[in-house]
Amino acid sequence: MSTIPERIEKLKKIMEKEGIYAYLIPTDDFHCSEYVSDYFKVREYFSGFTGSAGTLLVTMKEVLLWTDGRYFLQAEKELEGSGIKLMKSGEEGVDDIYGYLEKNMPEGGVLGFDGRTVTANAGKKLKKSAKNISYKKDLTKDIFLRPAFPKGKTENLPDSLTGMSAADKLGRIREELKKSGADGIFISKLDDIAYILNFRGSDVSYNPVALSYLYINDEKTRIFIADGKSDIAYHGIIEKPYEEVTGFLKKGQLGNKVMLDPDSVNYLHYRMIKKRAGVINAKSPSQMMKAVKNETEIKHLKDIYLKDSLALTRFIRYLCTTEDELTETGAAEKLFEYRKEIKEFKDLSFETISAYGKNGAIIHYEPSEDNPVRIEKKGMYMVDSGGQYEGGTTDVTRTVVMGELNDKEKEAFTLTAAGMLNILNSVFLKGTAGSQLDVLARGKMWKKGINYKHGTGHGVGYMLNVHEGPQSIRNKAGANECALEPGMLISDEPGVYRDGQFGVRTENILLVKEAFETEDGVFYGFENLTVVPIDHRGMDLKLLNDEEIKQYRDYQKKVYDTLKGYLSEDEAKWLYEYCGLCEECINKDSSLRSE
Amino acid sequence: MSTIPERIEKLKKIMEKEGIYAYLIPTDDFHCSEYVSDYFKVREYFSGFTGSAGTLLVTMKEVLLWTDGRYFLQAEKELEGSGIKLMKSGEEGVDDIYGYLEKNMPEGGVLGFDGRTVTANAGKKLKKSAKNISYKKDLTKDIFLRPAFPKGKTENLPDSLTGMSAADKLGRIREELKKSGADGIFISKLDDIAYILNFRGSDVSYNPVALSYLYINDEKTRIFIADGKSDIAYHGIIEKPYEEVTGFLKKGQLGNKVMLDPDSVNYLHYRMIKKRAGVINAKSPSQMMKAVKNETEIKHLKDIYLKDSLALTRFIRYLCTTEDELTETGAAEKLFEYRKEIKEFKDLSFETISAYGKNGAIIHYEPSEDNPVRIEKKGMYMVDSGGQYEGGTTDVTRTVVMGELNDKEKEAFTLTAAGMLNILNSVFLKGTAGSQLDVLARGKMWKKGINYKHGTGHGVGYMLNVHEGPQSIRNKAGANECALEPGMLISDEPGVYRDGQFGVRTENILLVKEAFETEDGVFYGFENLTVVPIDHRGMDLKLLNDEEIKQYRDYQKKVYDTLKGYLSEDEAKWLYEYCGLCEECINKDSSLRSE
C-alpha cells in the first residue's frame, strides 16, 4: 500500500505533464451524492480523510483539505502526518476554496478537475475564481484503481408503499415542464430518480439508490443505468446503459429547452447540454414532490417511527440496566439487534455513531473495532442511528447518562433537550423557512456562550436517503431557502460539544403539519414522530423556565403513555422512572427549582 | 382641481399617442428615497394614495395600485371611488408587479416608465417581465405640474458631532474602491451623500438630506446639487448643478470601471453608465460605514435617547393624569411641545402616528385635523413618533391604556411587550442576521394565531433618515441579508392589529454590542437606548412564563431607576406606579398568576 504523500507525488507528476497547476478532488460522485460508493472515493484515497464532506486541492506549492465543523476533529486526526493542511470551512479568516483560488492561482495557471465530480454551479464558480480550467480529464485514473462499478440490483416498490405510481409522478413532472416551457428535464440526482420511478437500489451503503441518469420529455422517459441491474418496466420507459448518457447528451433528442438543476447536474454534462440547447436552471419538480410526503407515506412512517422508537428505548434500557461489559461497537451491535427484530427492517440508514465520553464531541464519530472503547458507569454515551425499513427511513439521537454528571455536562444536556423541545413545540406562519426557527434551538445556548457547529435540522427521505433537501433548519439565512410545508419531515437535533470532554445531542424527527388558520393567516406546527424518552438524570430544571419545564414533562408523559402499551410491566416501570415521572423525581426536581 | 379618474384619462390619452400600453408610476424620487419631497409625488397625484410605499400601474384595461400590509386599510379608504384596484403585496394569490406584467402584457405591448424613478435592478426586472419598455420619457409632465424644485439649504456638521471627517470618510471609500478594482463610484442615495460629506439638508420633510448625486474617483469628488444650496468646501470637492449629472454620465470622466448600487441608482443613469464603462454592482462602502455608528455618534445617541425618552414619559404621564379633553392631533402637539423643550431638538423625524382606539389598527395612521378623534377614558391610545436632534434621530412607540381593557386587548398588549423584550434580551452568534431573530418577537404570538404584517425592526440613521439600511429584522430570510454588527441601531417593534377594534405596538431602539467571547465563538447582544416604561395595566402576566415576567420586571425597574433622578417627586411616584413596581401591583399580579 502506498502512503498518502506517495499518492500525491504521483498525481503531481501527472499534473506537471498535463500543465495543471492545481488539481481539485471533491467528495462527490458524478451525481452530487452526499454519500458515495467506493468506486468514487478518490478524495479519501488521496487524503486519508474519511468524512462525508471534504474537498482536496493539490497544488504545486501545497496540499489542502476543506471540511466543515462536523469534521474538524476527525480531519485533524486523519490528516496527521500526511502534510495536508486542514482548512476549516466557515471559521473566521479561513478562505473558502474559491477565495483561496482567487488569491493563490498564479498568472496563467490552470486548475484541473474531473468535470463529472463537480456541480454545474460549482464549476462556474471555479472557472470564475481560477480563470483557466481543464475539466475533461480525470488525472487520478492511473493512480487510484477504482473498485468494480457497483452492480446492485434494484427493486420496484408497490403503490401501496409509495402512495403514487411512477406514471402519475411522471405526469406531474410533465405538467411542470409544460408550465415552464421546457422540452425536457435532465435529472442526475439519484434519490430523485429512485423516487420518480418508484424503485430502490443498492449501489451506495445505507442509501437505497442506483447509479443512473434520467431524461424525461413530453413523450419518453429514458433511464441510463448499468445493464441487468433493474427491471423498470413502466409504460414508455427506455433503458440504456449508464455510459451512454454522454452519447445521448451529445447527440440524442434533447429538444430546444432543457431544464436542469445546476446544483446537482455535473459540470461536464451541463456544458454538453448547454452546447446544444437552451438551459432552464431550476430544481427538478420531483424535489418538492419527494420532500412533501403523501398520506400513504405518512401512514407508514408513523408506524415505522413508533417501532424504531421502541427498539431504541429497549436498547437504552439495556444500556442502563445491564451488567455486561460494553464497548462502543458492542453497543451499536446490540442496538442493531433490537432493530433487526422489527419485521420491516432492512438495513441501517447510516453508520451508527456510538460514542462514549469525549468521543461524543466528534460530531460524526464512528467507533472502531480496532480500538475498542469501553462504556463505563460515568459520564455520557451518545448514539445517533437510524434504519431503512419497508415503510420509512429513521434517524434519531439520544444521549444516555451513564453516571454522575458535572455541572457543565448537565447544563449541556439540559439546554440541548430544551432547544429540541422549543423547535418541536413551535408554531409558525405559513411561508416560514427553517433558518427563521433555528434560534429557538440555539437561543438559550447562545445566552450562555454555547453554540454547535452543525445545522439544527435536515430533511429525511422516505425509504431513501437519511439526508434530503430542500428544507433544513440552519443558522444561516439562505437565498431562495424553501419554506417548511405540511408533509415535510425535518430533523431537530441541537447539541453541545466540548473537545476532549463530552458531547450531547438529542434528535427527534418532526412532521410539518397545519396547525390552524386565523384572521392573520395560516399557521403550521410540528407533529413529533420520534417517541423516545429523554434521560431525566441529565436534566437540570433550574436552567429552564416554567414553560420549558412543562414542555419537557408533557413530552416525557406522552412518550410514556404512547409506549407503555407495547412494554412489559418491568419495561414500563423502568421507563416511568427514566422519564422522571415518578413522584420522587418530581419532588426532587421541584425542591431543586425552589432552592 | 381635477379628479383622479380625470387625471388618469389624460395620462391614457398621452399613452395612446406614445404607443404605451401600460405606464408605471412608483413612489420613488430619482434617488430611490423612501420619503420624497412634493416635487416627486406623481403617484399620489394620480392615485390619491398618500402612503410612503406604493406603485401605480395604468394600463389600457385597468388601473392598479400595489402596496404592502402597513397600508392596506389606508389604501382601501383613499382609493375609494377612484376605480383603482388595490393589489395587496405579499398576500396569497396576489401577483407582484412583475408577475402581473408577465401575465397581462399583450404581445408587442410597451411598458412605459420614467427611468429616473425606478432602480437599476427594478428596471432590469421590468424589462424581463414586460419585454418591451420605454423609459426615457416622463409622460406625466404636462398633467402633474410639479411644485418648485426644493431649494433647502444645507448645513455642515462639525467632527465633534460626526466623529469622522468627510476627508477620512472619502479616504476609506477610496480604499474600498481600490480593493475592488473600481475607478470610481456613483452614489445617488441621499442619506449616503449627506453622511459621507458630513452635511445635512432640508429638501425632504423629516429627512435631513439634500437632492444631489456624488461621483468619487481616485482624485476628485464631484457633487451635483442645486446652485446656492450648499457650502461644502472640503478639499478637492467639485460642485456642479444638479441637472448636470446626466451630462457628466454621458461625457464626463467615469473611468473604465464604475461601482454602483443597482438597488439605489436609477435605471436611466445605470443605462448611461453601462454604455460607457464596466459596472461593478455593489453596495456603496458608505452604507456599512453609516450603519455602524462610531463612538462619538454613540455617545451623542445615548444622551439624546435619554432626553427623548424623558419627553415621551412626561407626555404619557400627562395623558394618564390630565382632565383636559384631548384629540389625536392635540395629543401629538402636546408631545411635540415636550420634545421642543430639549435644547438639541430640531424637528420630528417623521409624521407622528397618534392613533386612538380602532385607528391604532392602521399601521401608518396619520391623524387628521379635519376629522378630530377624541381620546376617551377607555381602550388604548398608540403613539409612534420621533425627533431629529443635534446628536441623533429617535423613533419610539408606546401604547397607553386609557381605561378597562378586554381580554383580547390585554393579550395583544402583553404578547407585544413580551416579543419586544425577547428581542432586547437575546444574545446571538456573530454573523447572525435579523431575520434569524425575528421569531423571538413573533413566536409567542404565532402560538395564538396572531401575526403582524410589518417588519420587526429597521435600521435608524444618526441625525438622518429614521429608516436606514442595510440591517433589518424581518420574517423573511433574504438573499445576501446583512449580519448584525456592533454599533448598528435597530428598532424592535412588534405589534398586534385588529381592524375596526384596536392596535398595539411597542417599539424600542437597540444598539448592537459585543456580549462576550467563548470557545464557541463571539456573541453579540443589544443595549437598550429607549428608556420609556411599558404600561403595566396592559400586561396579563398569566400569559408569560417566569423568565419573561422577570425580563419585564427588570425592564420596568431599570427604566424607573434610570429616569427617577431627572423627575420631580410627583413624577417619580407616578412612574413607579405606571411601571407596576408598587407592592400592591406586584401582589395583584402574583395572585393572578397563581389563579
Residue type, A432: T
Q: Are B28 and B117 in contact (CB under 8 A)?
A: yes
Substitution target in A103, A408, A425, A429 with the highest count of B β-carbons within 10 Å is: A429
Helix spans in A493-545 (H): none
Q: What is the DSSP letter of B191?
A: H
CB contact under 8 A, A478 and B477: yes
CB contact under 8 A, B429 and A438: no
CB contact under 8 A, A479 and B479: yes
pLDDT at A235: 66
Q: What is the DSSP letter of A390?
A: T
pLDDT digits (tens, 9 = 90+) for A135-190: 999 999 999 999 999 988 999 999 999 999 999 999 999 999 999 999 999 999 99
Q: What is the DSSP letter of B433?
A: B
Closest Cβ opposite residue A477 in set B433, B521, B548: B433
Closest Cβ opposite residue B518 in set A428, A449, A518: A449
Measured CA to CA, the distance from residue A295 to residue A370 in angstroms comes to: 45
Residue type, A17: K
pLDDT at B526: 98
How far B400 CA lies from chain A's nearest CA (Å)? 24
pLDDT digits (tens, 9 = 90+) for A521-551: 999 999 999 999 999 999 999 999 999 999 9
Q: What is the DSSP letter of A92?
A: T
A315-345 residues labelled b (16+ CB within 10 A) or e (exposed): bbbbbbeeeeebbbbbbbebbbebbeebebb
CB contact under 8 A, A440 and B443: yes
How far A524 CA lies from chain B's nearest CA (Å)? 9
Interface of B with A (CB under 8 A): 426-429, 431-433, 435-440, 442-443, 446-447, 449-452, 475-481, 516-518, 520-521, 523, 545-548
pLDDT at B216: 97
What residues contact B9, with CB distance under 8 A and at least 6 apart? none
Q: What is the DSSP letter of A68?
A: -
How far A589 CA lies from chain B's nearest CA (Å)? 17
Residue type, A594: S
Closest Cβ opposite residue B475 in set A436, A478, A548: A436
Closest Cβ opposite residue B435 in set A427, A477, A480: A477
A382-413 residues labelled b (16+ CB within 10 A) or e (exposed): bbbbbbbbebbbbbbbbbbbbeebeeebbbbb
Measured CA to CA, the distance from residue A281 to residue A175 in angstroms comes to: 17
Over the Cα atoms of chain B, what is R_g?
A: 25
CB contact under 8 A, A429 and B446: yes
With beta carbons under 8 A apart, name residues in chain A contacting B517: 449
Closest Cβ opposite residue B436 in set A435, A449, A480: A435
- Provide φ and ψ at A343, rounded to 5°: -65, -25
Quickly tell me which residue has 419554506 as its cell: A483
Q: What are the C-alpha distances in Å from A302 to residues A296, A559, A579, B262, B471?
A: 10, 14, 22, 50, 42
From first to last of its 595 residues, chain A has per-residue pLDDT tens of 789 999 999 999 999 999 999 999 999 899 988 888 889 999 999 999 998 889 999 999 999 999 998 889 889 999 999 999 999 998 888 999 999 999 999 999 999 999 999 999 999 999 999 999 999 999 999 999 999 999 889 999 999 999 999 999 999 999 999 999 999 999 999 999 999 999 999 998 899 999 999 999 999 999 999 887 877 766 678 999 999 999 999 999 999 999 999 999 999 999 999 999 999 999 999 999 999 999 999 999 999 999 999 999 999 999 999 999 999 999 999 999 999 999 999 999 999 999 999 999 988 788 887 889 999 999 999 999 999 999 999 999 999 999 999 999 999 999 999 999 999 999 999 999 999 999 999 999 999 999 999 999 999 999 999 999 899 999 987 767 899 999 999 999 999 999 999 999 999 999 999 999 999 999 999 999 999 999 999 999 999 999 999 999 999 999 999 999 999 999 999 999 999 998 777 776 665 554 4
Measured CA to CA, the distance from residue B568 to residue A255 in angstroms comes to: 82
Q: Are A329 and A359 in contact (CB under 8 A)?
A: no
Measured CA to CA, the distance from residue A587 to residue A195 in angstroms comes to: 51
CB contact under 8 A, B450 and A426: no
Helix spans in A277-433 (H): 285-291, 295-321, 328-340, 407-424
Question: What percentage of chain A exceeds 70 in pLDDT?
Answer: 97
Substitution target in B502, B520, B593 with the highest count of A β-carbons within 10 Å is: B520
Interface of A with B (CB under 8 A): 426-429, 431-433, 435-440, 442-443, 446-447, 449-453, 475-481, 516-518, 520-521, 523, 545-548
Q: Please tell me chain B's helix, strand, coil percentages from 3-state DSSP, rounded to the nearest 5.
A: 40, 25, 40
Q: Which of B421, B320, B327 is nearest to B370 (CA)?
A: B327
Closest Cβ opposite residue B546 in set A477, A516, A545: A545
Residue type, A585: C
pLDDT digits (tens, 9 = 90+) for A316-350: 999 999 999 999 999 999 999 999 999 999 999 99
Q: What are the C-alpha distances in Å from A273 to residues A249, A321, B327?
A: 6, 61, 70
Q: Give the 3-state secondary structure of A114-178.
A: CHHHCEHHHHHHHHHHHCEEECCCCCCCCCCCCCCCCCCCCEECCHHHHCCCHHHHHHHHHHHHH
Substitution target in A72, A436, A454, A485 with the highest count of B β-carbons within 10 Å is: A436
The helix or strand, by DSSP H or E, that contains position A240, with its residue range, turns out to be strand A237-240
> Quick check: helix, strand or coil at residue A574?
helix
How far A473 CA lies from chain B's nearest CA (Å)? 11
Chains A, B: CB pairs < 8 Å: 101
Is pTM beyond 0.80? Reply is yes
With beta carbons under 8 A apart, name residues in chain A contacting B427: 443, 446-447
> Quick check: helix, strand or coil at residue B336?
helix
Q: What is the DSSP letter of B246?
A: H
With beta carbons under 8 A apart, name residues in chain A contacting B429: 442, 446, 451, 475
> Quick check: helix, strand or coil at residue A565?
helix
pLDDT at A231: 78
Measured CA to CA, the distance from residue B149 to residue B144 in angstroms comes to: 14
pLDDT at B477: 73
With beta carbons under 8 A apart, name residues in chain A contacting B523: 446, 449
Query: How far apart, in Å, do the first and last CA atoms of chain B sit?
Result: 63
> Quick check: helix, strand or coil at residue A279?
strand
Question: How many CA within 13 A on the CB side of residue A430?
Answer: 14
pLDDT digits (tens, 9 = 90+) for B360-369: 998 878 888 7
With beta carbons under 8 A apart, name residues in chain B contacting A433: 477
Question: Cis peptide leading into A470, omega within 30 of 0?
Answer: yes
With beta carbons under 8 A apart, name residues in chain B contacting A450: 518, 520
Q: What is the mean pLDDT of each run of 10 residues along chain B (595 residues)?
A: 92 96 94 88 95 93 93 92 93 92 95 96 95 95 92 92 96 95 96 96 92 95 88 80 95 94 96 96 96 98 98 98 94 98 97 95 83 93 98 98 96 98 98 96 98 96 95 84 96 97 98 97 98 97 96 97 97 97 73 51
How far B519 CA lies from chain A's nearest CA (Å)? 8
With beta carbons under 8 A apart, name residues in chain B contacting A436: 435-436, 438-439, 475, 477
Substitution target in B439, B498, B545, B548 with the highest count of A β-carbons within 10 Å is: B439
With beta carbons under 8 A apart, name residues in chain B contacting A440: 439, 443
B387-420 residues labelled b (16+ CB within 10 A) or e (exposed): bbbebbbbbbbbbbbbeebeeebbbbbbbbbbbb
Nearest CA in chain A to B551: A545
pLDDT digits (tens, 9 = 90+) for B507-541: 999 999 999 999 999 999 999 999 999 999 999 99
How far is it between the farthest Cα atoms of chain B?
77
Measured CA to CA, the distance from residue B525 to residue A64 in angstroms comes to: 36
Beta-bridge partners for A518: A521
Over the Cα atoms of chain A, what is R_g?
A: 25
With beta carbons under 8 A apart, name residues in chain B contacting A435: 435-436, 477
pLDDT digits (tens, 9 = 90+) for B380-436: 999 999 999 999 999 999 999 999 999 999 999 999 999 999 999 999 999 999 999
- Provide φ and ψ at A352, rounded to 5°: -65, 130
CB contact under 8 A, A439 and B442: no
CB contact under 8 A, B432 and A475: yes
> Quick check: helix, strand or coil at residue B84?
coil
- Answer left, alpha or beta for residue A48, where phi above 0 means left and psi between -120 and 50 means alpha: left
CB contact under 8 A, A475 and B429: yes
How far A329 CA lies from chain B's nearest CA (Å)? 30
With beta carbons under 8 A apart, name residues in chain A contacting B451: 429, 520-521
With beta carbons under 8 A apart, name residues in chain B contacting A518: 449-450
Substitution target in B446, B481, B517 with the highest count of A β-carbons within 10 Å is: B446
Closest Cβ opposite residue B523 in set A427, A438, A446: A446
Q: Please tell me chain A's helix, strand, coil percentages from 3-state DSSP, rounded to the nearest 5.
A: 40, 25, 40
